[in-house]
Amino acid sequence: MRGALHLLCSIVLLPYLLLAAWFLILGDAIASGSLLSFFGTLLAHAVWLMPWGILGFGCGFLILCVIGVSDRLRWLGAACLFVLAGGCLLVIGQIDAVTSFGQILFLLPCLGVLGCGAWLLAAELRSRQPLPAGDAGAFARDPGA
């Protein structure tokens, strides 16, 4: 169940990751100064993105999905979901102050992913804690004896 929730949250987070990446690229291009350097910076980012960026983004997304399904690494996947959702909200929120109901409604799924990532991380870390020494034998005993 937690693995399916992780996959669902990863898919919901994907458009917000793309939007945050676009805002970062656009902000870098705008900061370059003139119109010619704006287009030069966009071209430089496009030349880099075509062979490596799209491939790296796809592999990173696939790795995020795989570690969320794995029992041993699910805590790491939940931590990545939490950090990525928080980063997306930070980048998108920095562009314009979130003041209207429509903006809040747009960011609501990303806030949900942030909450689910925090819950998954807390649940995974809680389930991985060792039992206290006195309670370790309680599961080994037969309850009927």
Is residue 67 in some structural domain? yes
From the list 13, 132, 9, 16, the residue with the least C-alpha distance to 74 is: 9
How many residues appear in the chain? 145
Give the tens place of pLDDT for each residue, 80-139.
Answer: 999 999 999 999 988 777 778 888 899 999 999 999 999 999 998 888 877 666 555 555
| pLDDT for the residue numbered 8 | 94
Number of domains in the chain: 1
Is residue 75 in some structural domain? yes
For the ranges 17-26, 37-46, 65-74, 126-135, the lowest mean pLDDT is seen at 126-135
Provide the token pair at 121.
Answer: 């991380």
Give the SS3 label for residue 68: helix
Q: Which residue has the tokens 């805590």?
A: 75
SS3 content of the chain, % helix, strand, coil (to 5): 80, 0, 20
Is residue 143 in some structural domain? no
Q: By residue range, what is the domain housing residue 94?
A: 2-126
Q: What is the mean pLDDT of residues 23-43?
A: 90
